Structure 1
Amino acid sequence: MFVLGAGASASSTNASGVRPSSWEAFLESGLRRVGNRDDRIAAEEQLAKGAFLDAAQILVDSLDSAEFGLFLRQELEDPAFQPSELHQLVLRIDPKVVITTNYDRIYESLVTGGPAAAGYNVCRYYDDHLVNDLRSNRRLIVKAHGCVSNPQRIVLTRRQYFEARRDHPQFFAALDAIFLTSTLLFIGSGFNGDPDIELLLQNVNISAPSQHTHFAIIEAGRHTSVKRAMEETHNIKFLEYPAGQHAEVIGALRVLADDVDSYRAVSVA
């Protein structure tokens, strides 16, 4: 099973060569819409400190529902970002479940627009069919933080993280089970500010320690002590590539896709 973070979407472009904004740039764009100067300055101060959840909280509280929805669609839908080779390779590898923390619809537009569209289902955290989907023979895209298709229900702030877990415990219990019983490969996840994913990994590691780790493809640069602590607390193995060399990720996924194709050929034979 795969977990796609913001870095996966960042591999996409639109017809003009524009890429999706980084998490920080996304928030900066939203804050330019905040009319109250004091609120905007306070949020920018939080952003400068790396307190993204707090900056997002001020942003959400400062915009009305319609303006916030317009902002999301202009950032994520209007540019018409196209699936990248990374998305194509994930589709080729064909995991049963792809979990994503992204709000965009880049990957699902790829899989639901092809000849196998009927074999896929999309489940957002507020939907009630995750367990049924997991037990079915359909491929599943799990949108753990919601979707741009329903801006008022995306999870962006500290309060929204809490409310999602409080109001939809069955979804997160099922997500816990996935993290407990499956080996996950994280692609494009920075592990630097997503309390949902970190909490899931830590809880599973505490409640049911396993010798089998999860894996994450990440950009090199963390201090050895920080990396070791994260690996131990999250039961995860970091597969590092040189800073800025994102093509290394595509190369690794090509090798994995080739290996999967070879395995399937042998299995069928």
Structure 2
Amino acid sequence: MSGGESSSHGWPDDVVEQALRRNLVVLVGSGLSASCERDGVRPPTWKALLAGLVDHLGITERKDEISELLTANRLLDAAELVKLEAKRVSREQDFFSYIRTAVDGRAGSNFDGSEWHDALVKLEPDLIVTTNYDKIIERSTGHGYSTHTYESERVAGDVRRRIPTLLKIHGSVDAIEDTILTRTDFTRLRLHGVHALSVLQALFLTRTVLLLGYSLGDPDIQLLLENVLGGRNESPAHYMLTQDSLPDYERDVLRYSHGVTTITYPSGEHERGLASLRVLADLVQSAKPA
């Protein structure tokens, strides 16, 4: 593992100290959900979700245009166009139903947490923030966290009282029509999520954040970094556990624009990343009173 000043356990001392004090904020992306499997099926990536919607809805009229947007990694624009096409052919409810099933599994056969989620549970963070819609974290934690979405105005109170809190900043399958997916939706987030975004900004300016399961190609993390995380020298150091295939220029963007240092493991060897997270979780568990 590399990135930042670290001790023999491989983690920067700041991360360990904040984890032991339960001051570490863990930001969870789609990569953790994608590690789950049920009956040979996994939750899709952003791009796979949109491509699946195109096929499921039978979109043909603007399919080439959507494909070009997906190829160019303009995923917010692709999502906007897919949603517009769903409305045009009166299949908006099918649009939302497909997303619910794709990310959370079929009713009665929902996705359960993976070994990554087991390690997250052992880490025992007071605050988990996720851009995922699924309920995998809730099931993994035994619904032991007070759960909020971006529209909640009670997040600050729970955080202040140190109640274990899960903030689903882009919504939940519980209210699938209100989830944030398209460029227009992100405008709605800034309008109706003022309280939640303000709480996040305050926390990220005062506490250390660990990002898990993210790729900079995902528009959800791009926009969250731009709208919430402070720039360098304006916030504590933040960290992302990621593969070492991340290009140098993307590491520079993370470090110098958002104050995020990468902690890396060999590309494709996700078991090495999991082992690293387990080490951090074990440090937390070993520090608990007997």
Q: Could you say whether these structures have the same fold, taking a TM-score greater than 0.5 normalized by the shorter chain as the test? A: yes
1:256 to 261, 265, 280: 280
Tell me which residue corresponds to 2:92. Answer: 65
Task: Please identify, of 128-137 and 72-81, the stretch whose mean Cα deviation from structure 2 is larger.
Answer: 72-81
* Percent of residue pairs bearing the same amino acid type: 27
Tell me which residue corresponds to 2:65. Answer: 42
2:102 to 67, 75, 85: 75
Post-superposition Cα deviations, 1:97-139, rounded to whole Å, max 9, x if no partner, equal: 00001111101112235xxx3xx21000012211111122321
Tell me which residue corresponds to 2:239. Answer: 215
**Which letter maps to 1:130?**
V
Q: Secondary structure at the match of 1:146?
A: coil
**Which letter maps to 1:102?**
N
Note the residue ranges of structure 2 that are not aligned, 5 or more in a row: 1-24
Q: Is the 8 A contact 2:49 2:99 kept in 1?
A: no
Tell me which residue corresponds to 2:176. Answer: 151
TM-score computed with the length of structure 1 as normaliser: 0.89
1:137 counterpart = 2:167: no
Deviation at 1:35, TM superposition (A): 4.1
Residues in 2 aligned to 1:122 and 1:163: alpha-carbon distance in whole angstroms: 20
Note the residue ranges of structure 1 that are not aligned, 5 or more in a row: none
Post-superposition Cα deviations, 1:180-231, rounded to whole Å, max 9, x if no partner, equal: 11100000011222243221355x226x624x31000111223323322321
Deviation at 1:244, TM superposition (A): 0.5
Residues in 1 aligned to 2:225 and 2:119: alpha-carbon distance in whole angstroms: 26
Task: Please identify, of 35-44 and 183-192, the stretch whose mean Cα deviation from structure 2 is larger.
Answer: 35-44
Residues 226 and 33 of structure 1: is their aligned pair in 2 closer, same or farther, counting only changes over 3 Å? same
Q: Is the 8 A contact 2:57 2:94 kept in 1?
A: no
Tell me which residue corresponds to 2:203. Answer: 178
Deviation at 1:11, TM superposition (A): 1.1
Tell me which residue corresponds to 2:260. Answer: 236
Residues in 2 aligned to 1:95 and 1:66: alpha-carbon distance in whole angstroms: 36
| 1:76-155 equivalence runs, <5 A | 76=103, 77-78=105-106, 80-113=110-143, 117=144, 120-155=145-180
Provide the aligned C-alpha RMSD in A.
1.8
**Which letter maps to 2:74?**
A
Tell me which residue corresponds to 1:205. Answer: 231
Residues 259 and 126 of structure 1: is their aligned pair in 2 closer, same or farther, counting only changes over 3 Å? same
Residues in 1 aligned to 2:281 and 2:59: alpha-carbon distance in whole angstroms: 50
Q: Secondary structure at the match of 1:42?
A: helix
Deviation at 1:89, TM superposition (A): 1.1
Post-superposition Cα deviations, 1:85-106, rounded to whole Å, max 9, x if no partner, equal: 1111111111000000111110
Q: Secondary structure at the match of 1:33?
A: helix
| 1:20-35 equivalence runs, <5 A | 20-35=43-58
Deviation at 1:36, TM superposition (A): 4.4
1:56 counterpart = 2:79: yes
Residues in 2 aligned to 1:205 and 1:144: alpha-carbon distance in whole angstroms: 20
Higher relative contact order (CA 8 A, sep 6+): 2
TM-score computed with the length of structure 2 as normaliser: 0.83
Residues in 1 aligned to 2:33 and 2:58: alpha-carbon distance in whole angstroms: 29
Post-superposition Cα deviations, 1:147-167, rounded to whole Å, max 9, x if no partner, equal: 111111000011100111022
Q: Secondary structure at the match of 1:37?
A: coil
